Each structure stands twice: as structure tokens, then as C-alpha cells.
Amino acid sequence: MKSKNLVKFLITILFVFSSTQTFANTIKWSMQGDSLTLDPHAQNEGPTTMVSRQIYEALVTRGLDMSIGPQLAESWEATTPKTWKFNLRKDVKFSDGTPMTSEDVVFSILRAQQRTSDFKEYISTITSVKATDAYTVEIQTREPNPILLNQLSNIFVMSKKWCEENFAMAPQNWDAGQETFSATNSMGTGPFKITLREPNTKTVFKKNSKWWGEVEHNITEIHLLPIKNAATRVAALLSGELDVVTDAPVQDLDRIRASGAHKVQSTPQMRTIFLGMDQAADQLRTGNTGDNPFKKKEVRQALYQAIDIEAIKKKVMRGLSEPAGIITFPGVTGYTKELDERLPYDVDAAKQLLADAGYPDGFEVELRCPNDRYVNDEAICTAVVGMLGKIGVNVSLFAQTKSKHFKELKDNQGDFYMLGWGVPTLDSHYVFHYLYETGASWNKVNFSDSEVDAAIRVMEGEVNLDKRNAAIANAWKIVKDNIAYLPLHHQVISWASKRSVDVPIRPNNEPLFRFSNVR
Amino acid sequence: MDNKNLTLFNRIKDSDIYFSFIKSPTAILSTLILIIIFFCSFFVELVTPYNPFDPSSLSLMEAFTPPSWTEEGLSKFILGTDGQGRDMLATILYGSRISLIVGFSAVIFALVLGVGLGLSAGYFGGKYEMIVMRLTDVQLTVPSILMALLVDGIARGIISRELHDEMAIYVLIFAIGISEWPQFARVSRAATLVEKNKDYVSASTIIGVSNIIIMFKHILPNIMRPVLVIGTIGLALAIIAEATLSFLGVGVPPTTPSLGTLIRLGNDFLFSGEWWITFFPAIFLVILAFSINLLGDWMRDTLNPKLN
């Protein structure tokens, strides 16, 4: 009897130990919002790409130091100025075990060019893509494209077979609220695979044992647990429930540092926060003047000069922001310090400008804001509402969750809105192509200028760097003089984690868990 | 003869209730606190020079000022300022006005609905009574906060967003009222059952007084005591329910914050040491609810000894 009990006891001990062992290398990761969809071509949005990046891979990719390196393509060369040849790795397998071939790459690029894709602007210059053999892909561009590699680093490769079997041949139409298999399931070549997906609650990533790369991490599972409330997120981190938070609230950084078991990393982020004003509508949807004051440059400038960006930096961002003059940041081709200068904060001048434009008593408008996307987004908007109130512009704030905010923006429902823009390609072209080009998908201010449009064409096809840079500089000057948007600041991001967890911080705010370790 | 010469004041002064009131220090204290709170909330413009809802009067640079007695505090902001530079005291008083309006309206709504249904159910009996009482049973199985969340969710679905901010306060009153009426219905029905067998009701029936008049003119005054007791305690519950809903973000919009909204907004700053932003609205809510409850307890003891 006794020995039997002992055996039972030992088995229990063994079981307990072995089961805790398997949980040992789990990283519990949190941020305020969740990925919007798992379809890697459906939504071009930060956290969505952060999640896709762990499970899907592209031909080329940016490493920890943000430089472009090979991923699914082993090597590449431009055979003519408009033709690129990519030699694929031959040892790549999808997580279901099927090998990845040039068929899948061609399929994925074509898929990302479809109407419902949010990545079509990245690769709009690609005119044809074909597989010359099982492991070679040839890409033709309309003009010589100096930033093709930058662009391709964001086009994730899916399995053609998997898409065929699961009715996912076209990207999910996210703007129309479509639900597809690929939006809640994923199957890529990346270092992790998703085994559980509960949107806005929990996403479980498991190590992909079939991954081709050299394993530099020791993680077996990642749990993504979005927590919207900042205080709750910090409490969960401090209590040990979470291992890493990739958007630690600025007001709590001192508190987290004070805990001996945690550390904070900060870096200027490749993201600029700005406000957009619809300049094309004849009448504001939420206005009271019956016309559209934003059509007048004086009004836009008045709003610009009424914003005390230093106060926002000091009080809302606690010093962790860089006031911005343009929607791009150091490190991006085309950025200069002079362009990044802001117009001075001057309430009297702003009032005068409003009066000159014919709105001495101001007007009413609604400001749309996300409340779970950017650092202190809602607090920034509330502060802006107060500042604009001082020049008589009566702003009502409408803050909502990012999925609704973005969807309604895309649906042209915003008069005045907040948006943040990162530049994954590190080239100004990306900003112009999405935000300034006539009819561009995120150009919700409906800015249109033929000279800028022409400059964008030059950026796409000009290989002479001097001429190209001149075009970029000229385009920035035009949009800055026009005050097409109201730039606010470049975001500084802070990641907080347990001391035992190493997740290298990157300026694009994207964690790469394949370089992460748990001690 | 004597009675006619007594003024209203003297009648009150001679009553049992007044006697019991002056003998109860808790009742006096809580009434005093409530009077102060009510006065300050409804005449807030006289109490404080600040209007926290006027964005042009705010200065972001004055945000996060601690209470005046601390080292960095400013004497012009007694309880400090919040993250937008609003004076906490003024914000709390404006907020408590909204909380009180919602609380009172919700209780009155629940009282009218509950007493109407309960009284008629007790008086008429039969199938009607059964239906009403089973309805209360069903509703009592659902926690009132869930009920209120459900109503709010449906309202958000039906009412367009532009209208929603304006309608939010009415939706909130309806949501809280609808979740509290069963208490009133049950108590008033029970009391009606006792009253309707009394001689004065039989006498009225015999002389042919109509049912409506018997119910509302003869029975209603006699069942008001227990109803008032639940009404008072219900007021505290309604104020807390409003705070809970606003804390969860489904109550009044942040542009016209109630106490619950203020506690929610301040919650983000708990870890960073700006404790006053959430502490003062919270402590104000506690004092308010506690005073109402103490008053309710005293009323229960005095008006309805049977409940002891």
C-alpha cells in the first residue's frame, strides 16, 4: 500500500514538474489594442502587421537594426532597370509542412494587388510578376523602382494551396466588414504559428517547429493579451501576469522602473501623429456654418497655431514626444530639420487668421479620435479640444476604438480626425503615396495637387538620386505650405518588460520574437 | 379644533418622526451632509468660479496640479487639477449634479412604474397579479447592473450616434429605473394585500367608489411608508449604479462627466502618483452614498418598525 502511494506521489510530482516545464518559456505580451485581422493583406495597420510579422514572412525583411536583409529570397539582382530576379530559399516550408515555392510568392504578390488589399499601394508599381522556375521569381516594374525592396519587405507570402482550400484567394474586404477564414486563421512560413485566436481577448502563438531559419530564441509560446485600460495593463505587468508591454503608458514609466523586477526601454518611434481636415467636402458633416471652413488655408493655419504642442509634450506625453512639422521623421529619405520646424504657437495670430477667413466667432466641428491606438491618443484630442476652444472653434470629441475609427474614416465619415503614420519603407514616397496623392486610400483630407502627384511619379521612377531627392523636397514644401494636415508630434515609444525577458525594442514598434529570450 | 390652529411647522415638530429624528445623531449628521452636497451641486455656479466644461478657460499647463496643501499645490485649486487642467472641486460638484439628477430621476421612474404595477397587482389579484409578479421574479434573477447594461446596449443600437450623446442621460435613467422597479412592485403589492382587506376599503367598495380612486386615493397613502424607505435606499443604489455604468464607459459621455466617469478618467493616473484625480471623486461618491444609506436606515427604523 505504502509503496503504491509513494509511486502515486512521485508520478504527481513528475507531472507537476513536467507540466510547469512546458510553460516555462511563455511570453505574455500585451498592448492596448489587438490585431484587426489575421489576413496579412487586408489591413495596413501597426499592431496588425506586428502580429502578421511573427507568422508570415516576406521576400526580404528588416532586421533588428532596421536594415534590409534576405528572408524568403536568398539573393536578388536587377537584370534590367525594370526587371528584378529573386532567388528563393529552397528549404522553406509552411507550418503545415508543404514546401514554399515561387508559385506561392507570385500568388501572394498578386493577391496583395487586388482591390480589397490594403497593401496595393506598396506595390502599385509592379506590372508583372512571374515564376521562371520553382525557386525563381521575376518582377517587372513600370519604371525603375529604387525602393522596391523596401516595399516588398511588407508583402507577406501566403500558401496558394491553403488559400485555395479555404476560400481566401482574395484579401478580406475589411472596410466592408467581411468575415473570412483567413481573417481568423493563419498559416505562414514564419517562426511562430497561431493556435488560438480570440479577437481582443487572447491570441496564442506556438513555436513553428518546421521553421527554416536558425533558431535564436528560446520561446515556446507567446500569448497576446490586449488590455485597453492603461492602469490595468501596468497593474498586470507589475503583478507578473504579463511579461512585456509594447506600449507602456508614459505616466507610469517611473513606477515601472522603480520595481526591481522590471525594465523600460524607450526609443523615438517611426510614427508621426497628426490631425486631418477634410478640405474637399462642400459642407462639414458635423459643422454649423453650412460650408466647409477647412477649405480655407487661413482656417487650417489658425487651428495649427492654436495648438500648444509644447504643453501637450510636457503634460500629456510627459516629455516623451518630439513636436513635428511634417509627417515624417529622422531617418526617412527626404526628412530635413528645416521641414520639421513648426509654425509658432500663437493664439492671437490664430484668432486673427480665423477672423480674416470670415469666421470671427469660430465654428463647430467634431473631432474623431481612436482611444486605443496611439500613445495617449484620447488625452491628446481632449487637450486639442480645449486649445481650439480658446480661439472659438467649438470642437466636440468623438473617441472610439480603433477598429471603428479606421473603418469609419475609410468610409469618408470624418471631417476632422486623428491619425498616426509610420513609414515602414523609410522613404518619403510611402507617405505621399498613401496620404497626399489625389484619391489615395488614406488621403481622407482629400488633398489634391497636380504638382505633388507629378512628384510622386518621379519618386517612383527616378533612379538619379539627386533629381529624386529634389522632387521629394519640392513635394514636402508644397504640402507643408498648404497645411494639408496638422502635424502634432513624432511618437516616442516605451516598452516595459520583466528583467528576465529580452525583447529588443525597434523604432517601428514591431517586436521580433524570433530574437527574444526568456531567462 | 386644536388641530386647525397648528401650523405645518408645529405639526411636524410634534410628530413622532421629528422626535425620532432629533434623537438620532446619525440621521442629523447625514441630513446635514446631504443638504450641503445638494446645495453645492445644484448651485455650483455660486460655490466655485471655475467652469470645467468651458474649454477656453482651461490651461493645459496647469494640469496635474496637486491639492493645495501639498508642496507643489496652488491655493487656487483646493483639490488640485486633473489631466486637462480642470479644477477638481468644480469638476466633482458638476459631476455630482449629474449623478444626483440621474439617481433621482431613475428612482422616481422606478417608483412610479413599480408602485403602479405592484399596487394594481395586489388590488386586482388573479391572473394579472400572477403575470406582474412572475415578471418581477424573472427580472430579479438578472443582476440589475446587467439589466442596465443590456438596456444601454440596445439603446446604442437603435439611437443614432449624433443623438446618442444628448440621449445618453435619458437612456441611463431608463436603464437604471427599469432595473430597480421590481423592488417597488413587490413591496407595494405586499402592503396592498394587507390594506385591501381592511374595513375602509370594503366600506369604499360598498358605497361604489371606483377602483382607481380606492387604489390611489385610499390605499396608496397607507402603503407609502415602506415605499419611501426603499426609495431612499434605492437612491443610493441608483447613484452607485450610475457611477458603475459610467465607470464602465457606457454611461454619460466624458464631455459631461459624472462621478463615475471622473473616477474612470482618474484611474489611469493611479500608478503615476496623481492620486487626487481619482481619489476625491471616489471619496465624494462614498460620502454621498453612505449618507443616503444612513438616512434610509433611520427612515426604515422609524417609519416601518415591522421591518426591524
Q: Provide the residue ranges of all domains of chain B, joining segments of one domain with +.
A: 24-48+86-307
- Mean pLDDT of all residues in A387-407: 90
CA A109 to chain centre: 20
**C-beta separation of B88 from B280 below 8 A:** yes
The reported pLDDT for the residue numbered B1 is 44
Q: By C-alpha distance, which of A335, A337, A329, A342 is closest to A507?
A: A329
The reported pLDDT for the residue numbered A91 is 93
Residue of B72, B256, B268 to mutate, testing the A interface (most A Cβ within 10 Å of its Cβ): B268
Contact with chain A for residue B268, Cβ under 8 A? yes
Q: Which amino acid is at B206?
A: I
pLDDT grade for A19, boundaries at 50, 70 and 90? low
CA A394 to chain centre: 31
The residue with greater pLDDT, A51 or B168, is: A51
* Cβ within 8 Å, pair B55-A315: no
Q: Write the DSSP string, A70-92.
A: ESSEEEEEEEETTEEEEEEPSS-
The residue with greater pLDDT, A16 or B266, is: B266
Percent of chain B with pLDDT over 90: 45
Contact with chain B for residue A252, Cβ under 8 A? yes
SS (H, E, C) A200-222: CCEEEEEECCCCCCCCCCCCCEE
Q: Does residue B72 surpass a pLDDT of 90? A: no
Contact with chain B for residue A385, Cβ under 8 A? yes
Write the pLDDT tens digit of every residue in A53-88: 999 999 999 999 888 999 999 999 999 989 999 999
> In this complex, how many residue pairs, one in chain A and one in chain B, have their CB atoms less than 8 Å apart?
72
Contact with chain B for residue A251, Cβ under 8 A? yes
The residue with greater pLDDT, A96 or B54, is: A96
- Mean pLDDT of all residues in A119-135: 92
The reported pLDDT for the residue numbered A195 is 94
Q: Does residue B229 surpass a pLDDT of 60? A: yes
Contacts of residue A345 in chain B, CB cutoff 8 Å? none
Of A252, A383, A389, the CB nearest to B56: A389
* Cβ within 8 Å, pair B273-A255: yes
**C-beta separation of A276 from A436 below 8 A:** no
Cell of B204: 369604499
The reported pLDDT for the residue numbered B308 is 46
Q: Does residue B160 surpass a pLDDT of 80? A: no
Contact with chain A for residue B156, Cβ under 8 A? no
Query: Could you report the predicted ipTM of this complex, rounded to two decimals?
Result: 0.73
What's the mean per-residue pLDDT of chain A? Answer: 91
Contacts of residue B61 in chain A, CB cutoff 8 Å? 308, 311, 314-315
State the smallest CA–CA distance between residue B84 and chain A in angstroms: 6
- Mean pLDDT of all residues in A312-323: 93
Cell of B62: 496647469
**C-beta separation of B181 from B114 below 8 A:** yes
SS3 (DSSP) at A382: helix
Of A235, A386, A388, the CB nearest to B84: A386
User: Rounded to two decimals, what is the model's pTM?
Assistant: 0.82
Q: CATH says B24-48+86-307 is which class?
A: mainly alpha
Angle, helix A465-482 to helix A450-461, in steps of 10 degrees: 150
Contact with chain A for residue B163, Cβ under 8 A? no
Q: Does residue B307 surpass a pLDDT of 60? A: no
Q: Does residue A375 surpass a pLDDT of 80? A: yes
SS3 (DSSP) at B198: coil
pLDDT grade for B50, boundaries at 50, 70 and 90? confident
The reported pLDDT for the residue numbered A340 is 93
Write the pLDDT tens digit of every residue in A26-60: 999 999 989 999 999 999 998 999 999 999 999 99
Sequence-separated contacts (24+) of A284-292 with Cβ below 8 Å: A284/A363, A284/A365, A284/A415, A285/A366, A285/A413, A285/A415, A286/A364, A286/A365, A286/A366, A286/A396, A286/A415, A286/A416, A286/B162, A287/A363, A287/A364, A287/A365, A287/A415, A288/A363, A288/A364, A289/A359, A289/A363, A289/A364
Q: How far is the C-alpha of A290 from the C-alpha of A127, rounded, in Å?
A: 45
The reported pLDDT for the residue numbered A207 is 94
Q: How far is the C-alpha of A471 from the C-alpha of A146, rounded, in Å?
A: 14
Q: How far is the C-alpha of B229 from the C-alpha of A370, rounded, in Å?
A: 45
